[in-house]
Amino acid sequence: MANGLKVYHLPLLPVLRNDVAFFALINLIPVVRQILIREHVDICHGHLSTSVTMAMVMIVAKACGIKTVVTEHTHFVYNDIGCINLNKMCKWYLKDIDAAICVSHACKDNFTLRAKINPYHCFTIPNAVDTNKFSPNPSLRYPLNKINIVCVSRLTMRKGVDFLVDIIPRVLEVCPNAYFIIGGDGDKTPLLKELI
């Protein structure tokens, strides 16, 4: 690929609902170790703390003495049995990472608490809008004399929409001239529509 970028395809066939996670646990270690050594990797970066493949790569990288960084952009609750188990797994395989990046301060708080990551090793780099590709037309603002609060997201629990659902009525009580502009879709869309 361009600029020396290489793409490796794992030699694993999906077995359960197009998933290779179980077999990644068994077979991935020697393959990843070979790639990391052959490519002289200095830093290993992974996305999404609950990815089995990412977890195994991070474990192998740390075993090889390679610096590791994880980017997290998802919220998880603390009272759901599935999330509780995921959080326990995160504590195990992320305990030795060198740094973490979160896409918001709320995400950082959630991630450091549930995965027991040292907050001083976790940094926030907010999601952003490319202003060269998106520039709003001020003449189309609606409604005028309102406080506009904008949320553009996949409308799911993992993106923190439950927090948004809880906070909208509270914000409107304190600040009746607030106006929420929400863009996106997901399984929490009906919940947000109930607030309208």
Give me the domains of the chain, ranges plus CATH numbers.
2-124 (3.40.50.2000), 138-195 (no CATH)
Closest-CA residue to 60 (of 39, 82, 76): 39
Inform me whether the pLDDT recorded for 11 exceeds 70. no
Tell me the CA distances in angstroms from 88 to 94, 115, 174, 176, one per residue in order.
10, 7, 38, 41
The SS3 assignment for 66 reads: coil
For residue 23, pLDDT beyond 60: no
* pTM value surpassing 0.95: no
pLDDT class of 66 with cuts at 50, 70, 90: very high
Q: Let me know: does 57 contact 12? Beta carbons within 8 Å.
A: no
- 131-157 exposure pattern, b = at least 16 Cβ within 10 A, e = fewer: eeeeeeeeeeeeeeeeeeeebebebbb
List the strands of the sheet with 122-124, edge to edge. 43-47, 67-72, 99-102, 122-124
Q: Give yes or no for residue 60 having a pLDDT over 70.
A: yes
Residue 127, pLDDT score: 75
| pLDDT at residue 38, rounded to an integer | 93
> Does residue 44 register a pLDDT over 90?
yes
User: 């050594």: which residue's tokens?
Assistant: 37
**pLDDT at position 49, please?**
79
Q: What are phi and psi of 102, to 5 degrees?
A: -120, 155
Over range 109-126, report the average pLDDT.
Answer: 89
SS3 190: helix
Strand pairing class (43-47; 122-124): unpaired
**More confident call, 80 vs 100:** 100
> Residue 12 above 70 pLDDT?
no
Least trusted range by pLDDT, from 27-41, 140-154, 175-189: 140-154
Average pLDDT over residues 125-134: 73
Share of the chain above pLDDT 90, in %: 24
Instruction: Name the band, by pLDDT with cuts 50, 70 and 90, for residue 83.
Output: confident
Q: Which amino acid is at 4?
A: G
Amino acid (1-letter code) at residue 71? T
Q: Which of 88, 14, 104 is nearest to 53 (CA)?
A: 14
pLDDT value at residue 136: 67
**Residue 62 pLDDT > 80, yes or no?**
yes
Region 75-92 average pLDDT: 79
